[in-house]
Amino acid sequence: MKLREVKEILDANVIVGEEKLDMEVKTAFGADLMSDVLAFAKAGSLLLTGLTNTQVIRIANVLDIAAIILVRGKKPPMEALELAKDLHIPILTTKYILFETAGRLYTRGIVGCLEKVEK
Amino acid sequence: MVSVEKILEKHDFDIEGGNFNKAGTVSTRIKSILKHRQLPDEIVRRSAIVCYEAEINIVSYAKKGVISLTVIPDKIIIEANDEGPGIPNIELAMQQGYSTANQQIREMGFGAGMGLYNIKTYSDVFDITSEVNKGTFLKMAINLI
């Protein structure tokens, strides 16, 4: 689906990347543990998280994450926002909790970027 | 040793221990350098992950360090050399879930004990040596052919 649809499903605000709402997304990964995001998130996926520091943006860049969805109504600090603009990474913020965000996207066809870990 | 005429790209970047504001900037730079060379996306991504994990380790644990990027026709070589506490038991440090991260590092979402394991997963060649109270030296290669 298009990022625009993700925005609608989650009743989200687009903080960065209004011009990228026509981007296609199919998969997502959700975690607040960046160590695990680095280990498991796949290129082109949405990243669902409640962390808002600049490292989240750096990691999204490193991993070729399509867009960051901040859950629980989190707002990024100014320096994270500026970095996301520089690196052209869209940030959406939704008031839904992580579980609800994932569930709402899943029922509409977004799947995990992997189903389970190998061990 | 790699003969000089074969080196396509060679850069050294200083890393400041403890400076989390700047952490990740070198990885972003390296990623952009590799992208400019029009290398395949997956190769660029793997290199960036390896570099980022090494960079975060230096910022988290060491006094200072240097990350070097070398591109030759058949591989990308990333070396991370730091002055720091070193790793007493490398075998243990390589295990998933083992971490000595403090609270500050954990609050940023790190310290799950995945770093070195992840570096190994994403590299084709991974070498680690360390001396306690001196530092740690990582050498990673990602094959282009």
CA distance to partner chain B, nearest, from residue A33 (Å): 5
ipTM field: 0.92
- pLDDT at residue B135 above 70? yes
Question: B5: how many CB neighbours lie within 10 A of its CB?
Answer: 5
Check CB contact under 8 Å for A38 and B49. Answer: yes
pLDDT, residue B145, reads: 86
The reply to whether A118 falls in a domain is: no
CATH of the domain at A77: 3.40.1390.20
Task: Look at B24 and A39 and tell me if their CB atoms are within 8 Å.
Answer: no
Reported confidence tier of residue B2, pLDDT bands at 50, 70, 90: low
Between chains, do A58 and B108 touch, taking CB under 8 Å as contact? no
pLDDT over threshold 90, residue A12: yes
- State what percent of residues in chain B have pLDDT above 70: 97
**Chain B environment of A68 (Cβ under 8 Å):** none
Residue A84's SS3 state is: helix
Q: Which two tokens stand for residue A15?
A: 């903080």
Q: Taking 70 as the threshold, does the pLDDT of residue B108 lie above it? A: yes
User: CA of A52: which chain B residue's CA is closest?
Assistant: B108
Cβ neighbors of B142 (< 8 A, separation 6 or more) are B43, B46, B47, B50, B75, B76, B78, B122, B123, B124
Among B28, B112, B117, beta carbon nearest to A61 = B28
Q: Which domain holds residue A54?
A: 3-112
pLDDT in the model for residue B41: 96
Query: What average pLDDT score do residues A69-75 get?
Result: 97
Q: Output B1 or A44, whichever has higher pLDDT.
A: A44
Specify the pLDDT at position B136.
97
Domain count within chain A: 1
Beta pairing partners, A65:
none
- CA-to-CA distance for A104 and B117, rounded, in angstroms? 33
Q: Which long-range contacts (CB under 8 A, 24 or more apart) does B107-112 make?
A: B108/A34, B108/A51, B108/A53, B108/A55, B108/B20, B109/A32, B109/A33, B109/A34, B109/A35, B109/A37, B109/A51, B109/A53, B109/A55, B109/A56, B110/A34, B110/A35, B110/A55, B110/B56, B110/B60, B111/A35, B111/B60, B112/A33, B112/A35, B112/A36
pLDDT mean across residues, chain B: 95
Contact A54 B21 (CB under 8 A): yes
Chain centroid to Cα B143, Å, comes to 16
Which of A52-66, A76-90, B73-87, B101-115 has the least mean pLDDT? Answer: B101-115
Is residue A56 one of the residues assigned to a domain? Answer: yes
Give domain status of residue A94, yes or no. yes
User: Which secondary structure element, helix H or strand E, spans residue B143, and what is its range?
Assistant: strand B135-143
Q: Which residue in A has a C-alpha nearest to residue B113's C-alpha?
A: A35
Chain A residues with a Cβ under 8 Å from any Cβ in chain B: 32-39, 43, 51, 53-56, 58-59, 61-64, 79, 87
**What is the set of domains in chain B, with CATH numbers?**
9-143 (3.30.565.10)
Whether residues B24 and A59 touch (CB distance < 8 A) is answered with yes
pLDDT of residue B1: 60
